[in-house]
Amino acid sequence: MESVDHLADERGKASFDVDEMKVVWAGSRHVLELSERIARLVASDPAFQKDNRTTLGRKELFKNTLRKAAHAWKRIIELRLTEEEASKLRFYVDEPAFTDLHWGMFVPAIKGQGTEEQQQKWLPLAYKMQIIGCYAQTELGHGSNVQGLETTATFDPQTDEFIINSPTLTSSKWWPGGLGKVSTHAVVYARLITDGQDHGVHGFIVQLRSLDDHLPLEGITIGDIGTKFGNGAYNTMDNGVLRFDNVRIPRNQMLMRVSQVTREGKYVHSNVPRQLVYGTMVYVRQTIVADASCALSRAVCIATRYSAVRRQFGSQKGGVETQVIDYKTQQNRLFPLLASAYAFRFVGEWLKWLYTDVTERLQANDFSTLPEAHACTAGLKSLTTSATADGIEECRKLCGGHGYLCSSGLPELFAVYVPACTYEGDNVVLLLQVARFLMKTVSQLGSGKKPVGTTAYFLQVEHLMQCSSSARKAEDWLKPSVILEAFEARAVRMSVACAQRLGKFANLEEGFLELSADLIEAAVAHCQLIVVSKFIEKLKQNIPGKGVKDQLENLCNIYALFLLHKHLGDFLSTGVISSKQASLANDQLRSLYSQVRPNAVALVDAFNYTDHFLGSILGRYDGNVYPKLYEEAWKDPLNDSVVPDGYHEYVRPMLKQQLRNARL
Amino acid sequence: MESVDHLADERGKASFDVDEMKVVWAGSRHVLELSERIARLVASDPAFQKDNRTTLGRKELFKNTLRKAAHAWKRIIELRLTEEEASKLRFYVDEPAFTDLHWGMFVPAIKGQGTEEQQQKWLPLAYKMQIIGCYAQTELGHGSNVQGLETTATFDPQTDEFIINSPTLTSSKWWPGGLGKVSTHAVVYARLITDGQDHGVHGFIVQLRSLDDHLPLEGITIGDIGTKFGNGAYNTMDNGVLRFDNVRIPRNQMLMRVSQVTREGKYVHSNVPRQLVYGTMVYVRQTIVADASCALSRAVCIATRYSAVRRQFGSQKGGVETQVIDYKTQQNRLFPLLASAYAFRFVGEWLKWLYTDVTERLQANDFSTLPEAHACTAGLKSLTTSATADGIEECRKLCGGHGYLCSSGLPELFAVYVPACTYEGDNVVLLLQVARFLMKTVSQLGSGKKPVGTTAYFLQVEHLMQCSSSARKAEDWLKPSVILEAFEARAVRMSVACAQRLGKFANLEEGFLELSADLIEAAVAHCQLIVVSKFIEKLKQNIPGKGVKDQLENLCNIYALFLLHKHLGDFLSTGVISSKQASLANDQLRSLYSQVRPNAVALVDAFNYTDHFLGSILGRYDGNVYPKLYEEAWKDPLNDSVVPDGYHEYVRPMLKQQLRNARL
Ligand SMILES: Cc1cc2nc3c(=O)[nH]c(=O)nc-3n(C[C@H](O)[C@H](O)[C@H](O)COP(=O)(O)OP(=O)(O)OC[C@H]3O[C@@H](n4cnc5c(N)ncnc54)[C@H](O)[C@@H]3O)c2cc1C
Ligand SMILES: Cc1cc2nc3c(=O)[nH]c(=O)nc-3n(C[C@H](O)[C@H](O)[C@H](O)COP(=O)(O)OP(=O)(O)OC[C@H]3O[C@@H](n4cnc5c(N)ncnc54)[C@H](O)[C@@H]3O)c2cc1C
Ligand SMILES: [Ca+2]
């Protein structure tokens, strides 16, 4: 096997310590070491091969995923992996499966909403996978509006049971991952009805399939909802449909941590505060932000390496052509995405801290930061997943024609990633929530209620409403204070402007609906500020390693100045900066690109992804793109024969003018 | 069968004559009638069924495409369809196939670059499909830079032949559609070498496969390059790889309309002007712009109908919920795309005229408008395909979770459409060409050389550099003159600013590279102006039908004001408008949305797409979404059995804690 590093030159150009950057990216030396160990474990195990995924039919593909999930679980047990290691293993196996929902939603739902007793009963079963669970909330007719769910759970005091029922077609559960073919149990969300009274939506643990023969229990209809975007992609997941025909479950399978139904059928609240559920939401969304930085960094890694390999134009008469990464247009599309990957990584890290902080406060009955934390995670989920989905597709385009081949890894990465914009809250619906929170924040400014956390900058509203940027020359745009002030002023002014316009409506709700497109822009401005400010905060830490901090500073500035250019209309129309200052910022951005250029390949090496995980010929570590693309092509089933199946029936008669009599 | 129209209410709200709008969309009553007839023909023929595409493996899928192509050809012959009808039939069959390249590239290349004699020899064979041809230009290592191709065609005076050769791996032909499995012939682009001298890239007709047994001829290696984005999508096409090992072809198979190699091996130019090839380019790109409006309108039709069916939130205690199309955020995402579909339709129509105009001029040896026409088609190809690709994905997101199902039709529409951003010129590379042309235009302004066609507005450069918008109230933004002036001033100022900055570079080429990101923005501004101005021109025509013109005026204004808001930074930083004026424009935009809202469903009905063609359950004409989604799900192969394949091997052992001993 050839082992020339075609990117050695690029790696030689880097002016920073890549190994130290790997630690920064991983979060700690411990995580780096662990990730590397598990990544290698997965990459070297033939059972986890994945390069044939796009050529399999749905059934084969799905069976293969079942096999991998079982194999992964077997290895987890055999090697006695810790929870941290096990979850990394699932991550590197890199194939959506029922286990994601089991561990990511079913278990947390029981933990968050189950009583001590319920946890003691169900969690050990789940931990050992003696039962497999999914999260059944969405219905055919009801997604974003959870309060509109139609499934009912009616208490029958005679038998001490709930009757779970799907009264309409639109009440069919629809979308839950792992439901279609695998799950034995589900947390089902349904309207609780006692004594004819509707108490709104609550969670119930419902057994779906027999543990003997895996057949759906009586009164239960289950199926898969069909093929989704992409080839392999999310089609390894059995997103399912589920209907209940008056299915009975014991009363103690309602998740009763916050509210309960007594033996007599009385609906009562426990002394556990309702807000606890927000904790789970913050947790889940924090993992989604972390996933965004993974997915985006993966795409950026592929596009960066390939852009250094690919040469096009600019040769002097037969000499070598220019690497496309040297074109400013390529840099202007690619480097902001590289910067975004790092930015999302750090804001994700911070969200992990936020989750711990929120949890501690909840335990101490301090709910003061909860609405802010909730809005902030909603906004960051929306911002990072939208940017990542768009960014992956842009990376694909940055690879020209070859990016359209599945062997580039990018089409499937896009297809598998993009539902993150929709699940766990449609991104637009989430931004509207952020906007609502911002309007509340503005309206309370006079009231003495102090804005906290990521809205603390509203304290300086007076200054921010009238300040003007002090940037006089391009380099001024490298100063964190200059950048922060511009982003804060833009966000405050957009929020305040919306609030003022809202004030003119007699009916606030109507005003909110009418102005919602503008409100969303204010929410985006606020969320972008959060990402920028968390990047800046990160850089205040001690970051060791030659040149590491310099590189991160460049990326932070690129992230901010790229956004400033992209949303220039905001900054100019609110009078935060002048056209002249905008033009200086742009000059600075261009010069930052030049500084990143020689470090680009090393900056993506720092993600430390194996070729197995990347799953991309264009993104190969060694840059040996062309021979491997060529090799890969021949593996397509269509190349099984030189003359294709169908030639004799359909092509030859055409060529021979014998179609008229042919039976097709 | 149920035949309730769930969208009847919506249709009832429309305030214009839908049938007349259909004529406008189709271009003429003749085309409307023809399209309708052919669309029905295709939809009613079971051989053209396509709803199983996403569940087929590559080989089955491909064989199916061969079958459909043969059946289509059979019908074309049997029904004696005209060329116009035949091409509509292929359009409604809606499945990329080798025939696209045969008719769309192979035949036009021979027509455009072949001598009379060559046309007489080859075209009749091609017209009858006695040979099937493809267009083999791109190589593994060379795409955008056509001049960098490596394949050689060396003249051998001894045998009066060319020797076609692939000297390196990167010179392998790579991407040509129809090449991999079907084509018997190709137009191959190769460096012409006579007597040791390289004359650059020329086209050659090369037979690839035996007409007896379809095997590649000696010295020729051919295969398919593998799976591409999406499931069905473009995988029905056999994009291929092709290598030549010193393959000999007769001298008269070089396409010799413009330059020739004589029997003696002399390279000579004919008296046919080289510029003729641009004619073909204008033609091909014009069809791409037309395709953009088709693809976008299709996605918009699906998203609009579903947005009227889908209800979420806003119910008063159990009442019906709000149609999501009533949310301003939904309108703000959807209606500009609806407007864009119409805008692209009209600019496509105009391009057809441009092509005729260019052709006539070429025949009269008038090359004066050619560079402008070339830049304009390059820019419009780039603008419309990028906007369409993004627009389809936005439409998918507008459908929430259900948009992620293949049964929505949107994932496959995206996957099959998106390479239009790359083929026939990478969109960024094309914009750079436009920018170059604009810089030339600016530099010649003083010279007396008058800007023509779509650059004629540069004549008013002095006015446009210093004018300020006269908009004083929201309604002023409805005036075509106000809109046009703003777009012209923005475009001129961005071009002039770039030219001035370029002037500061000692080396113009270096300057161009350095400023290329800004240059591209100037090019986009210019192209958007073209689309806006052609829409406005269209509205100057007599357009009959109750309310039809009013609707089109609304859409035209939405298109323009939406762009103005999206690129607000451009308009403000060049001082074309003030923040206050921008805010008025935005108010006007919102009020236009309200006017479009009741007409939205009727405006997409005007596209006159059959349910077969749309291929989307969410976009069904009758709006009967939920029962049909439910029905469709059960057809997935995964639902062949209730207990999935793999349960006994992989799931049961897990549940029963028997994995340890399992062999996976
Ligand atoms: C791959 C995938 C996996 C999933 N897994 C699960 C799972 O395991 N369990 C589960 O329960 N669910 C799951 N879901 C469902 C998912 O949670 C929902 O799809 C999501 O909540 C969005 O809801 P929706 O589909 O109803 O979108 P809709 O709400 O119907 O959105 C349609 C459109 O309406 C707009 N809209 C809706 N409400 C408003 C409003 N108030 N104002 C303005 N605009 C609005 C949206 O922005 C969107 O453009 C999954 C979905 C996908 C795609
Ligand atoms: C589905 C599909 C069908 C096709 N069908 C055919 C066919 O039938 N026949 C055929 O011959 N070919 C075909 N092609 C090939 C197609 O024409 C090329 O892919 C296209 O020309 C783009 O070239 P590339 O792939 O080399 O991209 P590249 O040029 O390698 O682009 C890679 C990146 O470099 C950037 N870049 C390149 N040059 C410059 C520059 N000068 N300045 C700044 N940036 C630059 C691009 O913007 C892009 O981001 C097909 C391709 C696809 C995807
Ligand atoms: Ca497939």
Q: At what angle do helices B516-538 and A328-363 cross, to 10 degrees?
A: 90
- Find out whether A177 is annotated in a ligand binding site: yes
Distance of CA B59 to the CA centre of its chain: 26
Query: d(Cα A539, Cα A546) in Å, to the nearest integer?
Result: 15
- Report d(CA B194, CA B190) in Å as an integer: 12
Could you give the domains of chain A?
107-272 (2.40.110.10), 278-605 (1.20.140.10), 634-664 (no CATH)
Chain A: give the shortest CA distance to residue B375, in Å. Answer: 19
What whole-number distance in Å separates Cα of residue A25 and Cα of residue B271?
A: 64
Q: Mention every residue, 6+ apart, whose C-beta is less than 8 A from residue A488.
A: A457, A460, A464, A529
Mean pLDDT across A277-293: 90
Q: Is A388 in the pocket of ligand 2 (CB under 6 A)?
A: no
Closest CA to A25 of A602, A589, A532, A559: A602
- Cβ of A178 below 6 Å from ligand 1: no
Tokens of B83: 């060329």
Mutate to test the pocket of ligand 1, among A144, A187, A381 (most ligand atoms within 8 A of CB): A144
**Per-residue model confidence as pLDDT tens digits over A230-250:** 999 999 999 999 999 999 999
| Residue type, position A63, single letter | K
For residue B287, what are its two tokens? 């069809």
Catalytic residue, candidates A161, A372, A424, A553:
A424
Q: d(Cα A35, Cα A26) in Å, to the nearest integer?
A: 8
Cβ contacts of B70 on chain A, cutoff 8 Å: 649-651, 653-654, 659, 662, 664
- Report the mean per-residue pLDDT for chain A: 96
**Residue keyed to tokens 């992956």:** A392
| B117 included as an active-site residue | no
Asked if A277 contacts A373 with a C-beta cutoff of 8 angstroms, the reply is: no
Is there a contact between A633 and B225 if contact means CB atoms under 8 Å apart?
yes
The phi-psi region of residue A95 (left if phi > 0; otherwise alpha if psi is between -120 and 50; otherwise beta) is beta
Q: What is the pLDDT of residues B594-617, one digit of tens each?
A: 999 999 999 999 999 999 999 999
- Cα(A231) to ligand 3 centroid in Å equals 5
Tokens 């790579």 correspond to what residue?
B174
Bridge partners (DSSP) of residue A154 are: A163, A193
State how far the alpha carbon of A649 is from the alpha carbons of A653, B45, B162, in Å.
Answer: 7, 19, 35
**Is residue B481 packed enough to be buried (19+ CB in 10 Å), middle (13-18) or exposed (0-12)?**
exposed
The chain B residue lying nearest A228, using CA atoms, is: B405
Beta strands in A467-614 (DSSP E): none
CA distance A313 to A321: 5
> Does the pLDDT of residue B10 top 80, yes or no?
yes
Both tokens assigned to B656: 């029963």
Q: How far is B646 from chain A (nearest CA, A)?
A: 5
| B646·A132 Cβ contact <8 A | no
d(CA A640, CA B470): 67
What's the pLDDT at A406? 98
Using the predicted structure, report yes or no on whether residue B274 has a pLDDT greater than 90.
no
Query: What is the ipTM metric for this complex?
Result: 0.98
Strand order, beta sheet including A220-224: A173-174, A240-244, A220-224
- The one catalytic residue in B424, B485, B488, B553 is B424
Q: For the residues B485-511, what does the mean pLDDT come to?
A: 97
Distance of CA B138 from the midpoint of ligand 2 (Å): 8
Binary contact (A312, B142; C-beta < 8 A): yes
Closest CA relative to residue A103, chosen from A78, A72, A79, A80: A72
Euclidean distance between CA atoms B618 and B623, whole angstroms: 7
pLDDT (0 to 100) of residue A273:
84
Cα(B433)–Cα(B445) distance, integer angstroms: 19
- In this prediction, residues B95-120 reach a mean pLDDT of 96
Q: Nearest residue of B to residue A429 by CA position?
A: B329
Sequence-distant (6+) residues with CB within 8 A of B446 are none
Known binding-site positions of B for FAD: 138, 177
pLDDT higher than threshold 70 for residue B2: no
Does residue B281 contact residue A113 with C-beta atoms inside 8 Å? no
At residue B632's C-alpha, the angle toward residues B629 and B633, to 5°, is 90
Measured from the Cα of B428, ligand 2's closest atom is 47
Considering only the beta carbons, identify the residue of B213, B228, B633 that sits closest to A241. Answer: B633
- Atom of ligand 1 minimally distant from the CA of A101: 8
CA–CA separation, B79 and B70 (whole Å):
14
pLDDT band at residue B316 using 50, 70 and 90 as cut-offs:
low
Tell me if B145 and A643 make a contact (CB, 8 A cut-off): no
- Statement: residue B1 has pLDDT above 60: no
Q: How confident is the model at residue B661 (pLDDT cuts 50, 70, 90)?
A: confident
pLDDT band at B318 (very low <50, low <70, confident <90, very high): low
pLDDT at residue A2 tops 90 = no
**Considering Cα of A574, then A580, then A581, then A585, what sign does the dihedral take?**
positive
Q: What percent of chain A has pLDDT over 90?
A: 93
Q: Tokens standing for A79?
A: 């090697």
Residues of B in contact with A208 (CB under 8 A): none
Q: What is the spatial distance between Cα A302 and Cα A308, in angstroms, rounded to a whole number?
A: 10
Mutate to test the pocket of ligand 2, among B106, B422, B515 (most ligand atoms within 8 A of CB): B422
Q: Do B638 and A238 make contact, defined as CB atoms within 8 angstroms?
A: yes
Distance CA B650, CA B52 (A): 29
Query: How many helices, marked H, and strands, marked E, lie in chain A?
Result: 24, 11
- 3-state helix vs strand vs coil in chain A, percent to 5: 60, 10, 30
Q: For ligand 1, is residue A432 a contact (CB within 6 Å)?
A: yes
The pLDDT tens digits of the residues spanning B545-600 come to: 999 999 999 999 999 999 999 999 999 999 999 999 999 999 999 999 999 999 99
Nearest neighbour of B140 by CB, restricted to A148, A569, A629 = A629
* CB nearest A646 (choices: B67, B145, B646): B67
Q: Which of B226, B393, B649 sits opposite A636 (nearest CB)?
A: B226
Backbone angles phi, psi at A152, to 5 degrees: -115, 150
- Other CB atoms within 10 Å distance of the CB of residue B570: 24
Bridging pattern class, strands B220-224 and B161-165: unpaired
* Residues from chain A contacting residue B327 (CB–CB below 8 Å): 513, 516
**CA distance linking residue A122 with residue A131, whole number of Å:** 9
Query: Percentage of chain A surpassing pLDDT 70?
Result: 99
> Rounded to the nearest 5 degrees, what angle is found at the Cα of B168, between the Cα atoms of B167 and B171?
90
Which residue among A182, A313, A570 sits closest to B651, beta carbon to beta carbon?
Answer: A182
A144-165 mean pLDDT: 97
pLDDT for the residue B381: 98
Q: Which residues of B are annotated as a binding site?
A: 138, 177
Residue nearest to atom 32 of ligand 1 (CA): B400
Identity at A244, one-letter amino acid code: F
Q: Is A144 helix (H, G, I), strand (E, B) or coil?
A: coil
Averaged pLDDT for residues A114-125: 98
**Is there an atom of ligand 2 within 6 Å of B419 CB?**
yes
pLDDT of residue B370 exceeding 80: yes
* Shortest CA distance from A229: residue in chain B: B411
pLDDT score, position A448: 84
Cβ–Cβ under 8 Å, residues B556 and B536:
yes
Please name the member of B406, B569, B655 whose beta carbon is closest to the beta carbon of A227: B406
- Ligand 2 near B97 CB (within 6 A): no
Please tell me if the CB atom of residue B563 comes closer than 6 angstroms to any atom of ligand 2.
no
C-alpha distances out from residue B286 to A248, B97, B382, B625, B626, Å: 63, 20, 11, 35, 39
Q: Report which protein residue has its CA nearest ligand 1's atom 6.
A: A176
Rounded to whole angstroms, the Cα distance separating B150 from B190 reads 7
Atom of ligand 2 nearest to the CA of A404: 53
Work out which ligand 1 atom sits closest to the CA atom of A143.
26
CA of B405 to the centre of ligand 1 (A): 12
The strand pairing partners of A139, in sequence order, are A142, A173
Give B27 Cα–ligand 1 centroid separation in angstroms. Answer: 38
Please list every residue in chain A whose beta carbon sits closer than 8 Å to the beta carbon of residue B232.
Answer: none
> What's the CA gap between B379 and A397, in Å, rounded?
17
Q: What is the mean pLDDT of residues B147-170?
A: 98
Instruction: Give the Cα separation of B77 and B175 in Å (integer).
Output: 30
Distance, in angstroms, between A29 CA and closest chain B CA?
32
Cα of B584 vs centre of ligand 1, distance in Å, is 33
HEC sequence for A40-69: HHHHCCHHHCCCCHHHCCHHHHHHHHHHHH
Find which of B231, B335, B396, B616 to mutate to test the A interface (most A CBs within 10 Å of its CB): B231
Q: Evaluate: CB of B417 within 6 angstroms of ligand 2.
A: no
Dihedrals phi, psi of B149, to nearest 5 degrees? -55, 150
In A, which residues are within 8 Å of B568 by CB distance? 568-570, 572-573
Q: What is the pLDDT of residues A340-386, one digit of tens each?
A: 999 999 999 999 999 999 999 988 989 989 999 999 999 999 999 99
* Contacts with B72 from chain A: Cβ below 8 Å: none
Interchain pair B175, A401: CB under 8 A: yes
Total residues found in chain A within this entry: 664
Closest CA to A379 of A422, A430, A343, A429: A430
* Mean confidence (pLDDT) of chain B: 96
What's the A411 CA to ligand 2 centre distance in angstroms? Answer: 16
| Residue A173, strand partner residues | A139, A242
> Quick check: A308 and A623 in contact, CB under 8 A?
yes
Ligand 1: which atom is nearest the Cα of residue A177?
Answer: 8
Kind and range of the H or E run holding B250: strand B247-250
